[in-house]
């Protein structure tokens, strides 16, 4: 295996991971849009687009995407129930995304098994806090690309 093959395999794996990230962001944006419409939060399409774009940033992005809808709900109704509804919506979306959407999309796009998509960020997050979770998905995509390449050769 020469350097060009390494670049092709790694580049293809990272491209597949980027496509999976884009699809995940799009799915999260749609979930936000539906949930914010149901909750009648003002400017729901704008908040959904912002949440989808920020979904790409690990850890911090989803939380930053939450701030706008919570503030909009608080300012419109001046109570605690509506912002709490947005927080519950965030929790539902975070659970759905972390346990269902991301593993499914990674399996379909980057050929990473669901169990690896769920377990590896947890393990790497414990071993290498913050950075482990940040690099887990692209590392998995590259690892499984090389594994698939080895299986094709043999």
Question: Which contiguous run of DSSP H or E holds residue 55?
Answer: none
pLDDT category at 53 given cuts 50, 70, 90 is: very high
Least confident of 3-12, 74-83, 129-138: 129-138
Q: Is the pLDDT of residue 1 over 80?
A: no
Nearest Cα residue to 64 out of 33, 42, 90, 45: 90
**Number of DSSP helices (H) and strands (E) in the chain, helices first:** 7, 0
Phi-psi label, residue 79: left if phi above 0, alpha if psi -120 to 50, beta otherwise: beta
Q: Is the pLDDT of residue 154 over 90?
A: no
DSSP string computed for 75-132: HHH-SSHHHHHHHHHHHHHHHHIIIIIHHHHHHHHH---HHHHHHHHHHHHHHSTTHH
Which residues form the domain of 136?
Answer: 3-153
Query: Do residues 105 and 27 touch, judged by C-beta distance below 8 A?
Result: yes
CA distance 25 to 109: 14
Q: Is the pLDDT of residue 57 over 90?
A: no
Q: How many domains does the chain have?
A: 1
Please, which residues have CB within 8 angstroms of residue 74's CB and are 6 or more apart in sequence?
80, 82, 83
pLDDT category at 153 given cuts 50, 70, 90 is: confident
The average pLDDT across 133-151 equals 93
Task: Provide the whole-model pTM.
Answer: 0.90
The DSSP call for residue 1 is -
pLDDT digits (tens, 9 = 90+) for 83-95: 999 999 999 999 9
Count of CB atoms situated within 10 Å of the CB of 21: 21
In terms of Cβ atoms closer than 10 Å to its own Cβ (0-12, 13-18, 19+), residue 151 is exposed
């Amino acid at each position: 295996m020469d350097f060009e093959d390494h670049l092709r395999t790694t580049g293809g794996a990272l491209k597949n991971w980027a496509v999976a990230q884009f699809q995940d962001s799009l799915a999260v944006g749609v979930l936000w849009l539906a949930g914010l419409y149901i909750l009648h939060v003002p400017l729901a399409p704008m908040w959904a687009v912002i949440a989808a774009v920020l979904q790409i940033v690990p850890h911090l992005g989803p939380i930053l995407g939450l701030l706008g809808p919570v503030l909009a709900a608080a300012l419109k109704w001046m109570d605690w129930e509506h912002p709490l509804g947005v927080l519950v919506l965030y929790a539902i979306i975070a659970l759905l995304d972390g346990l269902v959407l991301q593993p499914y999309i990674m399996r379909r796009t980057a050929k990473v098994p669901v169990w690896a998509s769920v377990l590896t960020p947890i393990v790497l997050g414990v071993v290498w806090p913050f950075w482990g979770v940040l690099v887990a998905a692209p590392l998995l995509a590259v690892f499984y690309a090389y594994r698939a390449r080895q299986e094709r050769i043999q």
